[in-house]
Amino acid sequence: MLDKEGIAKRIAKEVKDGYYVNLGIGIPTLVANYIPENIDVVLQSENGLLGMGPFPFEGEEDPDTINAGKQTITKLPGSAVFDSAMSFGMIRAKKVNLTILGAMEVSENGDIANWKIPGKMVKGMGGAMDLVASAENIIVAMQHVNKAGESKLLPNCTLPLTGIKCVKKIVTELAVLDILPDGGFKLVERAPGVSVDDIKKATAGKLVVKGDVPEMAI
């Protein structure tokens, strides 16, 4: 199985030259550390930064330079800082080519729940609602099962929804999966050492397996 860094490494392979990419809170922020050096990508942080770089080394942090998750980050040469209104204007105008988000649940139809667990305190929905409503290419980075071993890839989400039929691809510690247009999780790749049966057992929603499923190359 992959750890969080492994999930981020695999998702980084989905980033293409010339993309503007928004990284959500959690595992997605790690993707910034694994962007291939031979491609030109601009990372956007919804709190108002274009040109976000990797996390700083210890002792080089700038407390005034943070991402949407309040983590200290670096700025690349040529980066731009602006207010939230400008940032969400970019998002709502579909200027972002790829959005990478974390999730608590994803349904086989591509619905996503990632902002609230009823009964638990939450500071707010953040920018996820705008991102899922505006983005045309959404990849989810998440754990396949919860701490109790229960699947988080479901026929229908049980938590309050963030967006409907918006997720295109999911990368977990077990697999890479595409959301099919007519519903269902299509198994695209297996994590190293993980079998198709392991993935079937961990997936509550409709899982579509066609032919030999290759192992991920990280």
Which helix (H) or strand (E) segment is 140 a member of?
strand 138-141
Classify the phi-psi angles of 146: left when phi > 0, otherwise alpha if psi is within -120 to 50, otherwise beta: beta
Angstrom CA distances, 132 to 112, 162, 207, stand at: 9, 7, 23
Residues identified as active-site: 46
What are the respective helix, strand and coil percentages of the chain, to the nearest 5? 20, 25, 55
Name the nearest CA neighbour of 28 among 57, 52, 63.
52
CB-based contact 179:108 (threshold 8 Å)? yes
Structural tokens at position 48: 């108002």
Question: Which residues sit opposite 187 in a β-bridge?
Answer: 177
| Helix (H) / strand (E) containing 113 | strand 112-113
- The token pair at 63 is 């407390």
Cα(157)–Cα(109) distance, integer angstroms: 10
- Please state whether beta strands 105-107 and 112-113 pair in parallel, antiparallel, or not at all (unpaired): antiparallel
